[in-house]
Structure 1
Amino acid sequence: MAPPLPLIFLLMIYGVSSADWGLSYSHSHICALKDSSVIMSCTYTYPTGYQIMKAFWTKSPIKVGEEHPDLSEDPEYSQRLQYLGDKHQNCTIRLSHVTQKDAHQYYFRFTTDKPGGTWLGTPGVTLTVTDLQVESPERVTEGDSVRLTCKSSCTLTDRATFIWYRNSQPLTERRDTNNELLLQSVRREDAGRYSCALHGHTYISPAVHLNVMYPPRSISVSISPSGEIVEGDSVTLSCSSDSNPPAEISWFKGGTLVGSGRIYSISKISSNDSREYKCKSINEHGEKYSDAVTLNVMYSPRSVLLSINRSGEIVEGDSVTLNCSSDSNPPAEISWFKGGTFVGSGRIYSISNISSDHSAEYKCKSINEYGAKYSDVVSLNVMHPPRSTSVSISPSGEIVEGDSVTLNCSSDSNPPAEISWFKGGTFVGSGRIYSISKISSDHSGEYKCKSINKHGEEVSDVVTLNIMYPPRNVSVSINGSGEIVEGDSVTLICSSDSNPPALNFSWFKREKFVGSARIYSISKISSYDSGEYKCKSINKHGEKYSNAVTLCVMSVKWVLWFKAFGVGVAVGGGVVVGLGGASFLSKKNRRTAMKESAVR
């Protein structure tokens, strides 16, 4: 600001004088600004020959009977009052830093050296001290035109230049020539504390707040804590908004209202809270939404599900895809397990040309930095026709007649196969087990089973049941036919049914052991060799005798005798029959003949 200058108010000159005495004031009324300097100008005259003894300014009111005080001697004025005149004619003074207390009528008074030579200049100068006040509307709305007025309690000179301040800073460099400030289309930036002053004066009016109302703007949402948010954390959303009057705040999750107030807090946040959030700021002048912010809540895998891409039966040779879905943030890595063995990774596990080897329990494992979880187990049940069909025998080893034997048909098939049993080419039974109790040699043979399901069939290799049993049907045969005559060679053969075949044979004439081996030969037989013969067949499971056969050896004499009678003789099994004739020997003759032959 420029240094203070005297403020001079030019009014009508009012004169007080007589022929030789006189006093005139330049202003009868002065309106001075608080804290300014005021010059009260005057001139006076007095008769020639008089000498001024004392000249001073005084003020009213004055009590009756009291002398007019000299303001220069008054402590309230002595430091501020400066006499600018002289003791001859000029009576001008300056009063600095005026305040409301200085509002009075002031007079100039002088005394001379002559009796009665005292003069008081009435009516004097009336001093009014004013401050400045800014007048403005209490509330304005953005876009309005606003007029601010700088007012004083008395009229200042027209030459007064007003200066405006906003927030203690000069508003413009211009010096308005009137006491009004016009703000056209007011903006929110125009809000503040306004004061006014007069150019050349230090006094500034009290500030008045201009309150500019406006709708919300600059709406934004901040998240605390910043950075990664993990399930279970506590999270606070703050909505900031520039508005006047202050706005009411509403919170939205997606499009749903979830709260109000500048702060929206979530304790123990979960993945269900993951969403876009925004706040709405609203006051009487308008409303505005913030941009959306996203709460991205991190959490470990859950809801891990394993699904198969096909429904119904899975048949060997099909292509099958297993899919693992998982709810997690961040997305999880997937591992696949067959039983407890790792077999692959990735959300998809594909098996082309599937086989029964793939039949097993499968599960997937979903893992991220916050945890891991397995899916439930899913079984792959691969259908296929029978294979590896085979027959086993129980007990193993040698089977002896009378044992109980079980044939078991094993077959790899899915679904389980139906089993049929065959002996040779003949169907003999069904079911995985074919049992024979008290087995006999009749059960010996080749056996096989046939495994069949809806996907195919397979026949096992043949197994042979070889039944062991002791000798039976032991019999003796004599080689040749007809009569046995002394000197012939005769062979007895022992035959038997046994398993294993009998290797040990014993021959007995009557009860006397006469030889071993299957064949018993007699060369140059004699009547001495006549008699009952039997053989014994032996294997490791037992032994058995044959029935006895009788050798009847004819002497040459008897043969000739029989022939003389035209009778042929054949001896076999103790029977003598006639050969080539119609007559037979009587029993008596036959016994006699055999006896004689035997004696011989």
Structure 2
Amino acid sequence: MSVRMAPPLPLIFLILIHGVSSANWVVNYRHSHICALKDSSVIMSCTYTYPTGYKIKKAFWTKNPVQGVEPPDLSEDPEYSQRLQYLGDKQQKCTIRLSHVTQKDEHTYYFRFTTNVTDGKWTGNPGVTLTVTDLQVEAPERVTEGDSVRLTCKSSCTLTDRATFIWYRNSQPLTERRDRNNQLLLQSVRREDAGRYSCALHEHTYISPPVYLSVTYPPKSVSVSISPSGEIVEGVSVTLSCSSDSNPPAEISWFKGGTIVGSGRIYNISNISSDHSGEYKCKSINELGKKYSDAVTLNVM
């Protein structure tokens, strides 16, 4: 008959301790990945548990731990000490707030705690990976008056917190353009819609670099002025100016009656004579259309 021997007492003790450790050393992170806006504050939420009977000696956050090296406490790091606030306790909560984040803060962060037992230390995996993004406005360089255009406020990653977007034109907020959608739709664009557009998030200080939106349109408000005004006598110099509003800039042609006599916004007549009397008008033309001014009469005394 064979006799089965009981394992030595020390071995039983080690098995029990291992069983307790694997079941009770836990760190739970609310988000394993966080995408945050540049210069904002980030909340890294977590909870932790440990075996009954243990007492917490130190609880802190660290980054990029190296195997075999005791991880540093970020609250003691000059780069973090003024920006990091521990919101947890020495029982269950281990949440922190990191303010004024930049791309330099893109790391994986871990919560770690030590207890009153020599080997009672724990670093929570997988940690929290932080990505920091800025905002960029994506828009066409130019759009024609009357068309619709869509501007997009883009980030390099999907923001973790639900965001409300704010739009600016020429540094002034478009108060009616506040939406959870990151797009700005301009329907039936007008000349007044041209300008520098930027975007931001509600309750955040960071504003994207501006992007200029150009609105093109055919010539409008074409008119002619004469200098000097009033009676004109032979021998003087006369200047006719053509005023036109257009985008892109228009080419100007001058007509006396039905005959073209010059080009450019300014038409000069030196040593004027009675032969120059007549009706003058200018034509403004660009790639989108053309428009004539009303005729003006030049009487030479």
Instruction: Give the TM-score category using the shorter length.
Output: 0.7 to 0.9
What is the RMSD of the two structures over their aligned residues, measured on CA atoms? 2.1
Q: Match for residue 233 of structure 1?
A: 236
**Given residue 197 of structure 1, which amino acid in structure 2 is its aligned partner?**
A
Report the Cα distance in structure 1 between the residues aligned to 2:116 and 2:233, rounded to whole angstroms.
104
Q: Is 1:111–2:104 an aligned residue pair?
A: no
CA distance in 2 between partners of 1:180 and 1:83 (Å): 36
1:222 pairs with 2:225: yes
In the alignment, structure 1 residue 179 sits paired with structure 2 residue 182: yes
The residue aligned with 1:33 is 37
Which residue number corresponds to residue 22 of structure 1?
26
Corresponding residue of 2:101: 98
Give per-residue Cα distances to partners, 1:351-395, cap 9 Å, x unaligned: xxxxxxxxxxxxxxxxxxxxxxxxxxxxxxxxxxxxxxxxxxxxx
Provide the aligned length of Structure 1 versus Structure 2.
281
Cα distance between partner residues in 2 of 1:50 and 1:228 = 105
| One-letter code aligned to 2:260 | L
Change (3 A) 1:66 1:229: farther
Name 2:172's counterpart in structure 1. Answer: 169
Q: Which one-letter code corresponds to 1:150 in the other structure?
A: C
Q: Against the structure 1 CA distance between its residues 116 and 293, is the aligned structure 2 distance closer, same or farther, given a 3 Å change threshold? A: same
1:571 aligns with: none
Partner of 1:131: 134
Aligned match of 1:54 in 51, 58, 62?
58
Residues 310-357 of structure 1 show CA distances to partners (whole Å, capped at 9, x for unaligned) of xxxxxxxxxxxxxxxxxxx2xxxxxxxxxxxxxxxxxxxxxxxxxxxx
Secondary structure in 1 matching 2:23 = coil
Residue 139 of structure 1, CA deviation? 2.2
Going from structure 1 to structure 2, the CA distance change for 1:81 and 1:229 (only over 3 Å counts) comes to farther
Match of 1:352 in 2: none
1:42 is aligned to 46
Q: CA deviation at 1:221?
A: 2.1
* Aligned counterparts of 1:236 and 1:53: Cα–Cα separation in 2: 90
What is the TM-score of this pair, normalised by structure 1?
0.44
Alpha-carbon distance in 2 for matches of 1:181, 1:232: 59
1:256 CA displacement: 1.3
Deviation at 1:69, TM superposition (A): 2.5
Contact 2:177 2:184 in 1 (8 A): no
Deviates more, 1:93-102 or 1:265-274: 265-274
1:188 and 2:191 matched: yes
Larger deviation, residues 165-174 vs 80-89:
165-174
In structure 1, distance between residues paired with 2:226 and 2:122:
85
Return the match for 1:148 from 145, 151, 157: 151
Q: Quick check: 1:201 aligned with 2:204?
A: yes
Task: Give TM-score scaled by structure 2 length.
Answer: 0.85
Gaps of 5+ in 2: 1-20
Query: How far is the alpha carbon of 1:275 from its aligned partner?
Result: 2.4
Q: Deviations over 1:295-323 (max 9, x none)?
A: 333xxxxxxxxxxxxxxxxxxxxxxxxxx
Within-5 A mapping of 1:76-475:
76-157=79-160, 159-297=162-300, 329=301
Structure 1 unaligned spans of 5+:
1-16, 298-328, 330-600
Whose RCO is larger (CA < 8 A, sep 6+)? 2
Sort the Cα spacing of 1:74 and 1:241 in 2 relative to 1 into closer, same or farther, 3 A: farther
Larger radius of gyration: 1
